[in-house]
Structure 1
Amino acid sequence: MFVDLGTGQPFVPTPSYFLGCFDIYDREETLGEELEKFNPNDPSDREKLILKYCLVSNRTYRHRFLLYKCLEKALQDKSFDFQSLFRYDPEAYSSFPYGWDEMENTRAFFEDIYRLATIEWKDDLQKASLEDQSTWVTLG
């Protein structure tokens, strides 16, 4: 299992990792107001959201590779419930902008993340794919 050297914790990504940048909990007046300018159902707005918030990160090329592969696997599963990732949980200390839990096609949102990551992270994905992932830092 890949260990994040920054935290010392196992890094086990899920597609929800791509949504953390859209969490407006306690930032409704800042990030929330900014995100409400976009319509995640509109392909043009969706692309702007993904490029501006989602794919810009301080993750290493290995993190990006694992995130990408995790998303690839979820997209290959025709029964994967992307909508569940947007459901409001009153017990959680997180929330998305108003209306995002009613997004028309959450799969399309993640397909666009994948498509754009393929372009934006091309060099990182290539670099990681050439390495033997079994030699990456692991537990045990």
Structure 2
Amino acid sequence: MGLSVSASFAILAVAFFIGVAPLIESVFYASNRLMEGANDVADWKMAWARTNIQVDNATYNGTLTLLNLTNIGSTVLTVDGVSVLLNGTYVPHNATNATVEGKATDIWSPNEKLRLELNVTSALDERVVVVTGNGVAKYGVIA
């Protein structure tokens, strides 16, 4: 009797560990994915907190709406990530000519000026909203 109880306990113990091993692995995998997600959110919040732009001026010269912006934050931004709304209407990127410090580039570093030439008509006192790729927005009025 002693050997059969010990043998059956050993078989049940081995079966238990074999059955629980995938469960433990899935718990570790899920916890690792949650930590990666939390780190991604923390990185995004840090970039958002370090992003700041300034609308230097917004003008309409009869054919083009001109926006002059300055990256006054400490985050390097992309020009493709910048979106413009003119009186609540999205201005597509193909209607925009963008230069950073006079050069056609996609990198907008801190303390650099971005000039956007929008091929859209506008009127005086229209509101313009510029939104960066990570969600920071600034408002301006066309003068």
Measured against the shorter chain, the TM-score band is under 0.3
Larger CA Rg, structure 1 vs 2: 2
- TM-score, normalising length from structure 1? 0.23
Task: Report which of the two has the higher share of strand.
Answer: 2
